[in-house]
Structure 1
Amino acid sequence: MRYLFQDYVFDTDRRELRRGAEVVSIAPQVFDLLDYLIRNRERVVSKGDLINAIWKGRNVSDAALTTRLNVARTAIGDSGEGQHLIKTLPRKGFRFVGQVQEAADPADGAAGNDVEQWPKQTLALPDKPSIAVLPFENMSGDREQDYFADGMSENIITALSRFSSLFVIARNSSFTYKGKAVDVKQVGRELGVRYVVEGSVRRAGRRVRVTGQLIEAATGIHLWADQFDGELDDIFDLQDRVTERIAVTVDMRLQSEQGRLAQRKPTDKLDAYDCVLRANAVWRHGDREANEEALRLAYKAIELDPHYGAAYARAALCINAKKHPRWMIDPQRETAEAIRLARLAITFGSDDEVALAAAALVLGLLAGELDAAASLVDQAVSLNPNSAFAWSVSGWLRLYMGYHELAIEHQNRAMRLSPRDPNRRIMISMLGAANFYLGRFETAERLTSEAVQLTNGHLATLRLLACCLAHQGKLDQAGSVARRMLSLDPGFRLPGAGEFVPLRRKEDLALYIEGLRLAGIPE
């Protein structure tokens, strides 16, 4: 049985709790507790009922039961103060009060993994033509060529994003539909767009065939479908032709813009381009080994084309990704190398918004050059006002500079451009941090708790959650989070806290360190 409430799917057969496309990690006992409460939501469940059902009648202290309930609430975005889903009735018991839909598991096991079957919130259409490019299907008969088809889709998304008259959904949200049989009407509702592009790529030797079709999401009507053939050496020309055809069909007004948009080839070395595509695909796995492999491929791309801005940017981001989880072996040397790569990304990627935004992130976080970084990311946004990555980086930089309301505004812009982003946890974490520094501790706790669930324990997010709880006087909960954090990072101490958050305002840093101190982080 699957129970649907808010944007969660609680699947008792698979013993999974999902929020959107993300699996929420919860302990088996907490899962059983939620299961019992949801199944018995029509009545008040007593403490004795829970002890008999979950602990099989063993003696359980009130504190232990309260802890499990708090963990269950956190897992589903609730809290002891809000009690929007799990309500405590003093001296009576507990009841699950959220609106629940029941759905039997589909007979088709593959369909059962599709968490997008139940209704989602419909996003309002922007005030200009809006479009989502779904990941192109790899028709080469070789799954190892997926990265090439993905790269084609990504480059078309980037090219369309540069039309200021269009609203283009970011790659990370479009790619949540990869490998799924999609209903374009549903895609239109979930992403809030008027048009959807589907396509395929077939690569055979040096020959490439790209097919594409543009569909009006609300009606499902095909506005055009076409096929483009060429040599691998002409791959960028093929991408330009597909992009222009989409743009012209969506809105004839864009024809005048096409002449003003410089046709750019990121590199003349196709082997270097191939390495960057592979690096991007590998890096998204997110673990340490994937990060090292992506870094190796980025360096190889630089060796093949020393003037390739995107390769320097990818390498810099890979080294930057080592900081928070303490993957750096020689922090001083690796930090200097990341900064060197970021500066070269600026030099050779001056017309590439992703390279500029990546360089801005690295210079802001690792070099502490916040003003220069903010100027860089502004250039990136100017180049491509549809870049969710650039807007998100801008949000983080404004946060560190102390412009908290502006940080929230920019991060919300990024989230609208990429409403189904797998990196949503990072975006939500930034919103939590901005609210924390604004003194909105309860809002910050709610957002940061959600981010913790999505990250399953990202260190930076755990630190922030401990601070949010501590400043509300919830010292027991803050201490529990702090102990979890120290189990993952035993060497973390208060004097080194500032190196992870390059905060310009002294009062922001003081608020952060005081929260960690109250939570029990040692000197």
Structure 2
Amino acid sequence: MSEVRKIAAILVSDVVGYSRLAGADEERILARLRALRSDLIDPTIAVYHGRVVKRTGDGSLVEFRSVVDAVRCAIEVQNSMIERNAGLPAERRIEFRVGIHLGDVVEESDGDLMGDGVNIAARLQTICDPGGICLSEQAYWQVKARLDLAINDRGDVQLKNIIEPVHVYSLLVGISAQAKPATPAGSTGPEKTSPWLALPDKPSIAVLPFQNMSGDPEQEYFADGMVEDIITGLSRIKWLFVIARNSSFVYKGKAVDVRQVGRELGVRYVLEGGVRKAGNRLRITAQLVEAETGTHLWADRYDGALEDIFDLQDQITEKVVGVVEPSLQRSEIERARQKRPENLDAYDLYLRAVPHMATVMPADAKIAARFLQDALSLDPNYAAAHARLAWCHEIFFVRGGFNEADRVAGIGHARSVIASGTDDASALAIAAFTIFMLGKEQEAALIAVERALSLNSSCATALYFGSLIYAFAGQDAKATSNAERALRLSPFDPMAFAAHLALGAAAVQQKRYDEAVSHCARAAQANPLFSTLYFFQAASLALAGRQEEARPVVQRLLELEPGFRLRVFFDVGMVPAIADRFADGARMLGLPE
């Protein structure tokens, strides 16, 4: 069953004392619940763009596109229930408890949701007062500046079966939540307005000042410094338009609506966060929001000790910058998919190509290559398109029949990238990998990937391709450090298989074959349609003396790539010490030369 991991606003509701109510008059209580769902609950959920994931008897699990929508929906239902219960004796009242959380969930192919995001929302519901609403800190942070709410701060609460305490806020229902009037930055009152800025021709982002939620002035400097570093780090992503600090910091200390920020600054995305101190530890929260819709693309929290404040600042900055790039690219790919074909520009065509390269197999790469060629026809100097097309030709050569024309074309596109002097770290790293594999230009490849990482040391793509180059060049220490850093920065990246493979190759070089088996198996799990990964797994098993375990792995390899031949590892840039060792394992299994 396929699954998708994402950030979602989750609402879980339950009827207080349902067993008691049903025991007294089950037929009547069921009829009243059905009526409430049809004429109050479901219509209200629809108004606020919610999706009922499932009913659990007397309860519901609902997904919303934003926490603001979830809270507004919950308040409207709870206020309506106050009116509907008026005049009824306590033993006949239907009262709901509601828990709301913003967090990580896993969506199954049938639409069901699971994971911590659901579990925390469900546990929040259980600690609510009858007719109440409980929010996690992550959820509360999203609405505190956008809705007028009467709040009770309940502090850190240890929820059942949740490992870490959750900071909980209770809403005092009976007071409507209305959007606060938006006041443009720098204005003295709501009567003044600012013109909306047009979006630039590439993805754009503003990093808002992180809120100091501790009341400690020292943390103000920490938060501001971290935001400045994040802005600097994001500015190294050359396909991204980043608003300067002086513009985004006009919102410091103000309640803002990200939709208005997006219009006033002319950006598609907004990154916001907060800092809270507890003892000698800091908790930093951050979330990436699509400004036009308020949709959350990513959110996370980071904890650290105050012993070395500058080291902590650097760590958090690196992690945030590292995860924002792939998150933005996923969002941009989805946006490009929704555009009409006649409106596609070179950037849109490039984005449409990227997902088709995920399997690293010729059939999908052919689809990507058509988009990339069209992109280059519109913009012949587009370095990122040249780099991806170079990689397509590497895929065609290595897994599609060793056609010399593919080798020449791949090297040509890769050299175009390097010669252009581009400061696109991703493009440089992909080009470096291509000239390493197809041109056996080890020194040039290492120089190019080192330049890529010097341009943007938090670029996950550069780290992933760099880990492979170092591994196949026999530099196992650098391969390991790049692979581990890439997985730490972007663990759910489509290129994660590359880091596991690099770790496997480094382990083989050090003759730690059982460890290599483990890494190569993880690589195959991360990209199960990529044939070559099964070769590395099978060869590692053979080298570890586990030949019987390798048989089904070999079978899967040949199913995906019937024309597989060992010669490929001697036709590409892999150094002989690595190629020979993997080939020795493969020969034990009878793989064709």
TM range (shorter): 0.5 to 0.7
Structure 1 residues without counterparts, runs of 5 or longer: 1-15, 22-103, 121-147, 172-196, 229-249, 255-269
Q: Per-residue displacement from partner, 1:69-88 (whole Å, max 9, x unpaired)?
A: xxxxxxxxxxxxxxxxxxxx
- Name the amino acid aligned to 1:399: A
What residue number does 2:86 align with? none
Q: Higher relative CO (CA 8 A, sep ≥ 6), structure 1 or 2?
A: 1
Q: State the 1:423 CA deviation.
A: 2.4
**Aligned residue in 1 for 2:555:** 483
Q: Judging changes above 3 Å, is the alpha-carbon distance between structure 1 residues 198 and 331 closer, same or farther for their aligned structure 2 residues?
A: farther
Q: Which runs of 5+ in 2 are unaligned?
A: 7-55, 64-106, 120-198, 208-225, 238-255, 277-282, 293-312, 318-343
Q: Counterpart of 1:414? A: 486
- Specify which of 449, 455, 468 is matched with residue 396 of structure 1: 468
Q: Distance in 2 between matches of 1:418 and 1:357?
A: 16
Q: How far did residue 332 of structure 1 move?
A: 0.8
Compared CA separation, residues 167 and 312, structure 1 to 2 (3 A): closer
Q: 1:162 to 1:291 in 2, by over 3 A?
A: farther
Alignment of 1:159-198 (within 5 A): none
- How far apart are residue 333 of structure 1 and its match? 0.6
**Are the structure 2 counterparts of residues 164 and 498 from structure 1 closer, same or farther at C-alpha, using a change threshold of 3 Å?**
farther
Query: What residue in structure 1 maps to residue 477 of structure 2?
Result: 405
* Counterpart residue type for residue 367 of structure 1: G
> Are 1:279 and 2:278 an aligned pair?
no
AA matched with 1:487: E
1:296 aligned residue: 370
1:371 partner amino acid: E
Tell me by how many angstroms 1:355 deviates.
1.9
> Contact conserved, 2:200 with 2:266, CA < 8 A, in 1?
no
Q: Please give the alpha-carbon distance, in whole angstroms, between the structure 1 residues aligned to 2:525 and 2:285.
A: 39
* Residue 499 (structure 1) aligns with: 571
Match of 1:152 in 2: 203
2:428 corresponds to which residue?
Answer: 356
Question: Which residue in the other structure is 1:514 paired with?
Answer: 584
Q: 2:398, 2:568 within 8 Å by CA — same for their partners in 1?
A: no
Q: Provide the residue aligned with 2:37 in structure 1.
A: none
Separation in structure 2 between the aligned mates of residue 356 and residue 394 of structure 1, nearest angstrom: 10
8 Å CA contact 1:313–1:345 kept in 2: the answer is yes
Q: 1:213 to 1:358 in 2, by over 3 A?
A: closer
Matched, 1:446 2:521: no
Tell me the equivalent position of 2:85.
none
2: CA distance, partners of 1:355 / 1:225: 26
**1:274: Cα distance to partner?**
3.7
3-state SS of 2:270 partner: strand
Q: CA deviation at 1:303?
A: 2.2
Alpha-carbon separation, structure 2, partners of 1:410 and 1:427 = 8
Residue 212 of structure 1 aligns to a residue whose secondary structure is strand
For 1:511, the aligned partner's letter is R
Do structure 1's residue 378 and structure 2's residue 450 form an aligned pair? yes
- Deviation at residue 361 of structure 1 after TM alignment: 1.0
Alignment root-mean-square deviation, CA: 4.7
Matched, 1:215 2:273: yes
Alignment-mate amino acid for residue 152 of structure 1:
P
Cα distance between partner residues in 2 of 1:164 and 1:203: 18
Secondary structure of the 2:410 match is: helix
2: CA distance, partners of 1:162 / 1:367: 41
- Contact 1:479 / 1:520 at 8 angstroms: preserved in 2? no
Which stretch has the larger CA shift, 343-352 or 317-326?
317-326
How much has 1:314 moved relative to structure 2? 2.5
Residue identity opposite 1:442 in structure 2: D
Residue 484 to residue 226, structure 1, CA distance change in 2 (3 Å):
closer
Tell me the secondary structure at the aligned position of residue 345 of structure 2.
helix
Alpha-carbon shift at residue 19 of structure 1 (Å): 10
Contact 2:204 2:269 in 1 (8 A): no
Larger Rg: 2
Amino acid at match of 2:509: Y
CA distance in 2, matches of 1:490, 1:225: 45
- Conserved? CA contact 1:201–1:208, under 8 Å: no
**What is the identity, as a one-letter code, of the residue corresponding to 2:377?**
E
- Indicate the residue corresponding to 1:117 in structure 2: 116
Corresponding residue for residue 48 of structure 2? none
**Rounded Cα–Cα distance in structure 2 between residues aligned with 1:453 and 1:429:** 11
Partner Cα separation in structure 2 for residue 450 and residue 224 of structure 1: 29
Deviation at 1:119, TM superposition (A): 10
Tell me by how many angstroms 1:286 deviates. 6.4
The Cα shift of 1:407 comes to 0.8
Alignment correspondent of 1:73: none
Deviation at 1:493, TM superposition (A): 3.6
Matched residue SS, 2:482: helix
Q: Are 1:364 and 1:397, in contact at CA under 8 Å, matched by a contact in 2?
A: yes
- Partner of 1:456, secondary structure, is coil
Report the counterpart of residue 415 of structure 2 in structure 1.
Answer: 343
Q: Distance in 1 between matches of 2:556 and 2:585?
A: 16
Distance 1:217 1:451, change over 3 A: farther
Structure 1's 305 and 166: CA in aligned 2 closer, same or farther, altered over 3 A?
closer
CA distance in 2, matches of 1:412, 1:169: 24
> Would you say the 8 A contact 2:391–2:410 is kept in 1?
yes
**The residue matched to 1:321 in structure 2 has which SS?**
helix
Contact 1:452 1:458 survives alignment (8 Å): yes
- Mark the CA change 1:213 to 1:464 in structure 2 (over 3 Å): closer, same or farther: closer
Give the Cα separation in 2 of the matches to 1:416 and 1:169. 21
Match of 2:496 in 1: 424
Cα distance in structure 2, aligned partners of 1:350 and 1:223:
30
1:460 equivalent to 2:460? Answer: no
* 1:213–1:459 CA distance, 2 compared to 1 (3 A): closer
Write the distance in 2 (CA, Å) between the matches of 1:510 and 1:163: 45
Task: Report how far residue 427 of structure 1 moved.
Answer: 1.6
Secondary structure in 2 matching 1:215: strand
| Alpha-carbon contact 1:169-1:417 (below 8 Å) kept | no
Aligned position for 2:394? 320
Residue identity in the other structure for 2:116: Q
Structure-1 separation of matches of 2:508 and 2:266 = 51
| Alpha-carbon offset, residue 216 of structure 1 | 1.9
Match of 1:36 in 2: none
Q: Which amino acid aligns with 1:316?
A: A
> Which of the residues 491, 498, 509 maps onto 1:437?
509
Gap change, CA 1:336 and 1:117, over 3 Å in 2:
same
Deviation of 1:381 after TM superposition, in Å, equals 0.8
Distance 2:202 2:508 in 1: 38
Find the residue that maps to 2:396 and give its secondary structure.
Answer: coil
CA distance in 2, matches of 1:300, 1:211: 27
Change (3 A) 1:287 1:170: farther
- Shift of the 277–446 alpha-carbon distance from structure 1 to 2, 3 Å rule, reads closer
Write out per-residue CA displacement over residues 475-517 of structure 1, whole angstroms, 9 at most, x where no aligned residue: 21123322332333333344444336x322x332221111001
Q: Is the 8 A contact 1:482 1:520 kept in 2?
A: no
- 1:217 CA displacement: 6.9
Matches of 1:369 and 1:162 in 2, distance apart? 38
Whether the 8 Å contact between 1:275 and 1:300 is mirrored in structure 2 is yes
Q: CA deviation at 1:368?
A: 0.9
Question: What is the alpha-carbon distance in structure 2 between the residues aligned to residue 201 and residue 281 of structure 1?
Answer: 32
Please give the TM-score of this superposition, normalised by the length of structure 2. Answer: 0.46
Distance 1:417 1:511, change over 3 A: same
